[in-house]
Structure 1
Amino acid sequence: MPHLSSRRRRRHPLQDFRAAWRARPVVTTVYLLLRASVILVLIAQLFNRNFENAFLCVLTLLLFLVPSMLEDRLNIDLPNTLEVIILLFIYSAEILGEINAYYVTFPYWDTVLHTLNGFLCAAIGFSLLDILNREERIKVSLSPLYLAIVAFCFSMTVGVVWEFFECLMDQLFALDMQKDTIVHSIGTILLDPTGGNHPVVVKGISDVILVLEDGTQRPLGLGGYLDIGLLDTMEDLFVNFIGAFVFSVIGYFYVRSRGKNKFAKRFIPIVGPAREPDDKAPDDPPPDPSV
């Protein structure tokens, strides 16, 4: 559900929904449409007994709650543009990418999502420090360049950890999350006849034949040599680099302009209003002085 301030926690859910609709109609509409779509896909997967995809649907519904949880726990307000992008990113990765196999159907689907991931993670990393920078109770004053560097490093770290996860899943469960690439030339020291450190270059590879333990030979018929995930990982990290760098530059000039950059404001969360104590609802009547 789009973020509802903790000051409204004790209202009826319908009142919360109406408040969210009035405050953020675009985000609420996108949220409801995507959530309804995921629920329909979930029902279809259950009928087809595809429980793995059903789990992905449930995971997607849970991930949709993350933006509002972050806003509530960190007392921040996500800009509408940023929250819509996060919701669309989750839907594109899990429902379209995994269940509808867009990763296979559209060769650049994964590349676009990794670029967007680099951009979003840089926005999150930048915001975490920028919020401290603007918090009056905390005496922190960081330069725009420092904020940009931290945002960039945060995004790249998230990208690297994700590639670690993909590699782990491929090694443990053979999921091929690090998609293979067909190449036509390789250079490797393993073919050095002297056993030294001199790479032997092999060009014009048109096919590879697998020789199994029982002596069976199986041509792959892929038109080249099968690169196991390396180029895919490097491409993912490179486009993550581009996304992180782009936002870091945007964030840098946002701080330099003291927050006047209207474009950057669409992606940078702001500190929410001060919260009222949890033991007293905002709508409670004032205490009777005669008591």
Structure 2
Amino acid sequence: MNLKGMNLKKERTKIQMVLTVLVILSVVRQFFLGNYHNMFLGILTLFLFMVPAVLDQTLGVTIPVGLETVILIFIFSAEILGEINAFYVKIPVWDTILHTTNGFLMAAIGFALIDLFNRSDRFSIKMSPYFVAFFAFCFSMTVGVLWEFFEFSMDWFFGLDMQKDWILPSISSVKLNPTGANVPVHVDIQSVVINGEKWNLGGYLDIGIVDTMKDLMVNFIGAVVFSIIGILYLKHRGKGKLAASLIPQVRDEKEQKR
């Protein structure tokens, strides 16, 4: 490993240590507050911090410093800041930012998986950069859809609110057309009645649909961005500092045996 690589590794270790200390402090704080649910989320975060190392060992790939840093910050932002410190509620765009990042990260994992097969001597079929990038995109979108299934299931069966509500000022519905024709009628909504009480919300309370579609759309954006980076990387393998810092590197068999 060259001097530059050693310096990057040191920086990565520092970032991981700082984030780990912050998580431990959060776990201790939640314990004394008696909030054991959040304490469990903190402990879960510490295990999730080991994901890059697990991927490194199980997939036979080297996670670049840039990508690993993004993964660690993403986990910290989602669990500690988002869930425990309620950034999802305090900062409306927080969920959007994380779902975009998730689309990007899942595309990176999908890219590493298919590139691992593509470069293996055990497979005679060699795939084009466009197909590899397309697989990474599809992998990311599939994970995004499965996550939305999970959120819906948790809300439906356990009464949670993972699919956040939205206030929409108007609707267009064919059900409200008095003629019965298949023509939508536009209706502006200023207030709603909940349990007999009037709420001036400035619209109606949408239960999860807008949030789900928004999450999938930004997941799409993240997946597309990484797929484009992946295509450029494969067409000019070994060139480009940005791609090299984000693309998982597949180790050859000699390196994996070390």
| TM-score with structure 1 setting the length | 0.81
Report the structure number with the largest CA radius of gyration: 1
Specify every segment of 5 or more residues in structure 2 that has no aligned partner in the other structure, as ranges: none
**Where does residue 232 of structure 2 map in the other structure?**
253
**Where does residue 270 of structure 1 map in the other structure?**
249
The reply to whether residue 224 of structure 1 matches residue 200 of structure 2 is no
Structure-2 change in CA distance of 1:188 and 1:155 (3 Å): same
Letter in 1 for 2:22: S
CA distance in 1 between partners of 2:124 and 2:245 (Å): 26
Structure-2 change in CA distance of 1:218 and 1:21 (3 Å): farther
**Where does residue 192 of structure 2 map in the other structure?**
208
Shift of 1:194: 5.1
Deviations 1:98-125 (A, max 9, x none): 1111111111111111111111111111
Specify every segment of 5 or more residues in structure 1 that has no aligned partner in the other structure, as ranges: 1-19, 277-291
Aligned to 1:266, the other structure's residue is in SS state helix
Alignment of 1:10-29 (within 5 A): 24-29=9-14
Shift of 1:199: 2.8
Aligned to 1:179, the other structure's residue is in SS state coil
CA distance in 2 between partners of 1:197 and 1:22 (Å): 65
The reply to whether residue 241 of structure 1 matches residue 223 of structure 2 is no
CA distance in 2 between partners of 1:72 and 1:157 (Å): 24
CA distance in 2 between partners of 1:170 and 1:47 (Å): 28
| TM-score with structure 2 setting the length | 0.91
Aligned to 1:177, the other structure's residue is in SS state coil
Answer whether contact 1:126 1:147 (CA < 8 A) is retained: yes
**Where does residue 88 of structure 1 map in the other structure?**
73
Aligned residues: 251
Deviations 1:114-140 (A, max 9, x none): 111111111111111112222334334
Aligned to 2:150, the other structure's residue is in SS state helix
Shift of 1:75: 2.1
Structure 1 vs Structure 2 CA RMSD? 1.8
Shift of 1:21: 7.9
CA distance in 2 between partners of 1:218 and 1:23 (Å): 58
Q: Choose from 176, 180, 184 the match for 2:165.
A: 180
- Identity percentage of aligned residues: 53
**Where does residue 143 of structure 1 map in the other structure?**
128
